[in-house]
Structure 1
């Protein structure tokens, strides 16, 4: 399993899915699997926002300590671990 951190370009994109402006953490078998999870769980039935940045094997300790770390799920389980509510 691989931990990914995605950041999206929401400049010309509406509606922005709840909680995703900071980024999105997902654990998956591969990059393609991560995209499938994001498309299914977060952007369900709407076009996916352009991806601005992806960090593969993200070290969660570098993520926002005031918002992301205290509000995330388990990063060792396949699925969305930030923001919560998309599994």
Structure 2
């Protein structure tokens, strides 16, 4: 499992923990319907790679070690 940051056109992005890039994009599609606005995806190697002024303070109770979407909040139930 790896945490990924999915860059989305017109949006801050989406944080996903998945088995692979393809798995991360599948979770993204389950939550948001389409991956057509995705402009990039990268493995997060360190929490410092995330936006410290918006993403980190808004993680809530997210568990980025478990498969699923952990940012934005409200998508934690997407894991199948």
The TM-score bracket by the shorter chain reads: 0.7 to 0.9
CA distance in 2, matches of 1:70, 1:85: 15
- Residue 36, structure 1, aligned to residue 36, structure 2: no
CA distance in 2, matches of 1:37, 1:60: 21
Structure 2 length normalisation: TM-score?
A: 0.79
Residue 69 (structure 1) aligned to one of 56, 61, 69: 56
Could you say which structure has the greater relative contact order, defined with CA pairs below 8 angstroms and 6 or more residues apart? 1
Computed over aligned residues only, the root mean square deviation of the Cα atoms, in angstroms, reads 1.5
Runs of 4+ in 1 over 4 A off after TM superposition: none
In the alignment of these two chains, the number of paired residues is 74
SS of corresponding position for 2:48: helix
Offset from partner CA, 1:27-57 (integer Å, 9 cap, x none)? 001111111110001x23xx33332121114
CA contact (8 A) 1:5 1:23 kept: yes
Q: Which has the larger radius of gyration?
A: 1
Unaligned runs of 5+ in 2: none
Unaligned runs of 5+ in 1: 11-20
Partner in structure 2 of residue 80 of structure 1:
69
